[in-house]
Structure 1
């Protein structure tokens, strides 16, 4: 399913540097609230749950029951074990859930790992109750200027990889085969980190990120040097250089 192998080392790196601090996700909380209309006791399938960042957030924010489905054993081992979160092995094409058992599906930065979007859409349709939404958090090709988006603006060659991701149109076409229609599409900001903090973690970040793994060593070092200069400029300006990123929320019903 994955474009990279999520072994123990990669999963640990992902947990350490890819999870966004909860206070940087406030806009996502409100966007999910608008489109999911959550209430305590609802069940959401977190498909491709990774290390459980959103599984934990959804339970904390809305008192939901989350079924975190993740194909990588190493990534599953990082998901918090606590009330409200059930962790299961599986992937989007073979969900270990009964028919009509979920009130919503959450897919965060993972549709580019799905080899057969049509098959996945049919499987997601099977496990959702009638009218339940699919919420997809994703960077879609053509929807953002990656030359100015953090952190990709420092590594412009990453477009070689991101341009191969499913577009909004391709995603909607695939889900339409299972009867889903596009309900909403909106960009959502998230506050990530300071430039200096990202520079300190960028080597580990590269090991855990599908996009940055596609860079050559020369391209990575060039981007890292640009990032280093930006850190110096922020320090000279007495500015922390905190960065906000934008991703899309695509809602299907």
Structure 2
């Protein structure tokens, strides 16, 4: 059960404001390539695929075939229709794949929605071929200093601290025979300016687990911080001088 309900309204908001443009994912392509050792035609199971942005990216970047597993019907309806993506209903602890049928598992901002992570790890072990990697893209408790949302809406940290930590995630997967092989922070860019972030704030509150946790007062204070930062910017300044990146961790297990 996800922490929020992904109905049609939320799914459309997610695609509009949470999907990262492909050119903002260059560092993720590089990081995944290093740990995936991709080959054309390999099968990647995208667990909690959302609206399919990463499923499509894996196909385009690596020539992979992706099984996009997503529990929300509304989210599944927005996954791109293409021959190299199979869209399936399911969730992390009940994957619609045969034993040893996948070459890698990808979980992007999913682990905090999984109620029984050890059970999910066992199911992932079942569907992966021996030696295949699990790549987890997520924020982890205690490791969110480079997450941009916390800079402007610091109260979101109280929810982040309820997310599985790296240690808890590794322990859950250890029970299924996985061991961590890498952990790195990977930057991404999804906005062109702070003004764009301010414009997106209301839609983000509908589509983002962390933003939904804010009280009206906390949300208003965060928007005011952004508004003041936008107003203080020198219009003649180089836009590149403003750090617009945000980072999530990539945890790799085998």
TM range (shorter): over 0.9
Shift of 1:160: 1.3
Do structure 1's residue 250 and structure 2's residue 248 form an aligned pair? no
1:168 to 160, 166, 169: 166
Partner residue, 1:129: 129
SS at match of 1:66: strand
Partner residue, 1:10: 10
- Residues 211-247 of structure 1 show CA distances to partners (whole Å, capped at 9, x for unaligned) of 1100000000000010011111224453434510111
Shift of 1:184: 0.6
Do 2:134 and 2:253's aligned partners in 1 also have CA atoms closer than 8 Å? yes
Give the whole-Å Cα distance in 1 for the aligned partners of 2:130 and 2:233: 51
Do structure 1's residue 19 and structure 2's residue 12 form an aligned pair? no
- Residues 37-62 of structure 1 show CA distances to partners (whole Å, capped at 9, x for unaligned) of 00100000000000111001000101
Do 1:192 and 1:242's aligned partners in 2 also have CA atoms closer than 8 Å? no
Please identify, of 233-242 and 45-54, the stretch whose mean Cα deviation from structure 2 is larger.
233-242
SS at match of 1:144: coil
1:184 to 171, 182, 185: 182
TM-score relative to the length of structure 2: 0.96
TM-score relative to the length of structure 1: 0.97
Structure 1 runs, 4 residues or longer, greater than 6 Å off: none
- Residues 99-143 of structure 1 show CA distances to partners (whole Å, capped at 9, x for unaligned) of 000000000001000000010000000000000000000111112
SS at match of 1:204: helix
Do 1:46 and 1:67's aligned partners in 2 also have CA atoms closer than 8 Å? yes
Do 1:195 and 1:242's aligned partners in 2 also have CA atoms closer than 8 Å? no
- Residues 136-177 of structure 1 show CA distances to partners (whole Å, capped at 9, x for unaligned) of 00111112326xx41221100001111000000000000000
Give the whole-Å Cα distance in 1 for the aligned partners of 2:92 and 2:80: 21
- Residues 1-30 of structure 1 show CA distances to partners (whole Å, capped at 9, x for unaligned) of 200000000000000000011001001001
Shift of 1:83: 1.7
Gap regions ≥5 residues in structure 2: none
Give the whole-Å Cα distance in 2 for the aligned partners of 1:243 and 1:196: 11
Which structure 2 residues correspond to residues 132-147 of structure 1 after superposition, within 5 A?
132-145=132-145
Gap regions ≥5 residues in structure 1: none
Do structure 1's residue 222 and structure 2's residue 221 form an aligned pair? yes
Which structure 2 residues correspond to residues 52-201 of structure 1 after superposition, within 5 A?
52-145=52-145, 149-193=147-191, 194-201=193-200
Give the whole-Å Cα distance in 1 for the aligned partners of 2:236 and 2:2: 41
Give the whole-Å Cα distance in 2 for the aligned partners of 1:139 and 1:155: 15
Partner residue, 2:237: 238
Give the whole-Å Cα distance in 1 for the aligned partners of 2:145 and 2:172: 25
Partner residue, 1:46: 46
Aligned CA distance change for structure 1 residues 235 and 205 (closer, same or farther; 3 Å): farther
